[in-house]
Structure 1
Amino acid sequence: MPRRRDPHQLSLFPDGDGNGGLEDGGSRSRREPGVGLAMPDPADVRLAERIPASVRLGTSSWAFPGWEGLVWDRRATEGELARSGLAAYAQHPLFRTVGIDRTFYAPLSAEQFARYAADAPSDFRFLCKALDAVTSATLPGRGAVGGSRREPSPHFLDATYATDTVVGPFLAGLGDRAGPLVFQFVPLPREMAREPQAFVERLHRFLTALPRGPLYAVELRNRNLMIDAYRQALSDAGVAHCINVHPTMPTPAEQCAAAPPETMPAVVIRWMLNSTHDYTSARERYHPFDKLVDEDLHSRTAIAAACVEAAARRQPVYVIANNKAEGSAPLTVRRLAEEIVRRVAAADV
């Protein structure tokens, strides 16, 4: 199945780590020279032609100087890439989506989202994380240092607040380039995590109160919440489970068994963190994110299988890879693309 965007037509000047856009929402200063796309690897172009059109691959943010040669045509600062790198990133043959993490920490306006959309082709999609005030039961208290004191979030699972502050600007700004809106829940407080049924019921009320239309996904950090009632709640609300590769969660294959992708409106996957590290140690080991260090073949195999199975169902797929998954998100995407194409070819035999 061919891709809708011709990967040969490339223009050099068209969350996580790296700020996915600064205060100007990713727009480029008129006086600042653009960052261009490195000459595409012919192998990447061939892979892009063979990936099913319904499968979108990308990375978690883009502002990483260490990607020089892999993505960027020159050395650039993180700030330059945050401001002017998206247009080049979006022309990479393998990248048809990107994850924006900054929306987890502060709300963006419709105008800021619109500036992102203006830097991407019409077939590109943005995966955005919802504001943490909606998905974190507690937030750092005023004057707290290092998270030492937490206070209840007044907007936790508040559908009205989420609609006005998160969903509305997301849709108004990105328009048809809006991809999944992911509600990523941090680990719940101990007393709340002990009552998974109560949490799932509250989650269901929240999801069913949101405006219809966007592709919503839920990402967990407590494995004990993946009970059958969770699957039923998502199915009833028409919401996807975001399969995530993270040490606190079951494997991708186990998550697929607990929340079968075929029951979801789309397959949404975030390949975030190698199981042998926490975020700090992974950053120290993998920086500047220019090579694969700890390849995760089990996750790659499971994710590729989920992608190919979903493509056979003509189900939309979004996969976001983090630098901390294996060492370099662009190379993780390349290896995943190779495995997807291999499986597609085998299925066609």
Structure 2
Amino acid sequence: MPDPTQPGLFGPDTLPDVPNVMQRRPRRNEAVPVLPAPVDPSVLALARRLPPRLHLGTSSWSFPGWQGLVWAGEHSSGELSKQGLPAYAQHPLLTSVCLDRSFYKPMPTEAYAAYAEQVPADFRFMVKAPALFSDAAERDAQGRVQRLNPHWLDPALAMEQFITPVLAGLGERTGALVIEISPLPTALKRDMNALLQRLARFLAALPRLSEHTPDGVLAVEVRDAEWLTPALRDLLRDHGARYCLSVHPRLPPLEAQLPLLRALWPGPFVGRWNLHRMHGAHGYEQAKAGYAPFNQLVDEDVATRQTLARVLHATAHAGHAAYLCINNKAEGSAPLSVAALARQIVAEATAPRRA
């Protein structure tokens, strides 16, 4: 059910008038369509005040608990995974989404094309690179390192299994392609200079996405603080890539990452608000248990929201694309976090300029 402390945020709690398929029990094997939740006029007005190149979204969309926030009816996660994207993309504040499934297994061109057909022309996808080449280790089902990955940062594999299918399938709906480098095995971190050189060679072999699609940008997200050096700044700048700001307990606080962003200015912004710091580096399951079914803000992080709003407003105001996707584990409900952040961005735009 929607959060009772958020009256009118995403419209009334009652279902809209819809065809009888929503009023009767479906026949066996008959799919019930996923319809968007009604949207309050104030939310429409808020969306119109956001910059056109700003794209806010969530990490995936298959959450039954978003009923009344994003969906009009009751659906299973499986139904939403297969049918929910068009309804999600009709919400005026949700103009992006992070495709996480591509991290676990490469997706073919046809899968990306099918997603592109389900969203408006101004919708932009954030896509995570497959662990097949983005993770330095091969891991078991529990995430434990089994061995080093011989395909780590292989540019030929990245082109074949990721960049080419994405560009061919998503086309102009391509937003940010994120190379998330998972936590490094301890042995590798003993020679960060060698790792930085390897990353530089990898990026040098890849195309600049802006030459293929107007809003495409390649970004590197890390999970170890050892990466955050001037050398990373220089190689990202040299190869036309961006730093993906990651709000995650494994990394230094947000304010400590901002100097890297400032050093790469001007240019697009890419960010992911992954997990509230209170849960610690391995706290996804703890956050999931505490926040499910993800229909209310439980642990609001106002300071992070305000900082992100300033960065997003400055980037979009300067005419650059800005992408941010939020996880349910950030505050409790990703759609409600998006709405709160949108209000903060509008407030930032109308606030007196700082000296």
Structure 2: segments with no counterpart, 5+ residues: 1-16, 19-28, 210-215
Query: What per-residue deviation string (whole Å, max 9, x for no partner) do you get for residues 244-273 of structure 1?
Result: 100011222221212327536310010000
Q: CA deviation at 1:178?
A: 0.8
State the Cα distance separating 1:347 from its structure 2 match: 4.7
Aligned twin of 2:6: none
- 2:289 matched residue in structure 1: 284
The answer for the alignment partner of 1:328 in structure 2 is 333
Pairwise mapping of residues 241-280 of structure 1 onto structure 2 (< 5 A)?
Answer: 241-260=243-262, 262-263=264-265, 265-277=267-279, 278-280=283-285
Q: Following the alignment from structure 1 to structure 2, what is the Cα–Cα distance between the partners of residues 199 and 41?
A: 50
1:207 to 203, 221, 237: 203
Alignment gaps of 5+ in structure 1:
1-11, 14-29
Find the aligned partners of 1:37 and 1:257 in 2 and give their Cα distance. 40
Q: Post-superposition shift, 1:100?
A: 0.6
Q: Offset of 1:328 from its aligned partner?
A: 0.1
Whether the aligned pair in 1 keeps the contact of 2:237 and 2:264 (CA below 8 Å) is no
1:94-105 alignment runs, 5 A limit? 94-105=93-104
Quick one: distance in 1 between partners of 2:320 and 2:144?
43
1:188-203 to 2 correspondence within 5 Å?
188-203=184-199
Measure the CA separation in 2 of the matches of 1:146 and 1:68. 31
Check whether the contact 1:60–1:100 (CA below 8 A) recurs between aligned residues: yes
* Residues 204 and 126 of structure 1, relative CA distance in 2, 3 Å threshold: same
1:311 aligns with 2:316: yes
Which has more radius of gyration? 2
Q: Which amino acid aligns with 1:222?
A: D
Aligned pairs (5 A) from 1:62-73: 62-73=61-72
Residues 347, 68 of structure 1: alpha-carbon distance in 2 compared, 3 angstrom cutoff: same
TM-score, scaled to structure 2: 0.86
- The TM-score with structure 1 as length reference comes to 0.88
Aligned residue identity for 1:274 = H
User: 1:112-191 to 2 correspondence within 5 Å?
Assistant: 112-140=111-139, 146-148=142-144, 150-191=146-187
Q: Give yes or no for contact 1:240–1:264 (8 Å, CA) kept in 2.
A: no
**What is residue 298 of structure 1 aligned with on the other side?**
303
2:306 maps to amino acid: T
Alpha-carbon RMSD across the aligned residues, in angstroms, is 2.0
Q: Is contact 1:238-1:265 (8 Å) kept?
A: no
Percentage of pairs with the same residue:
41
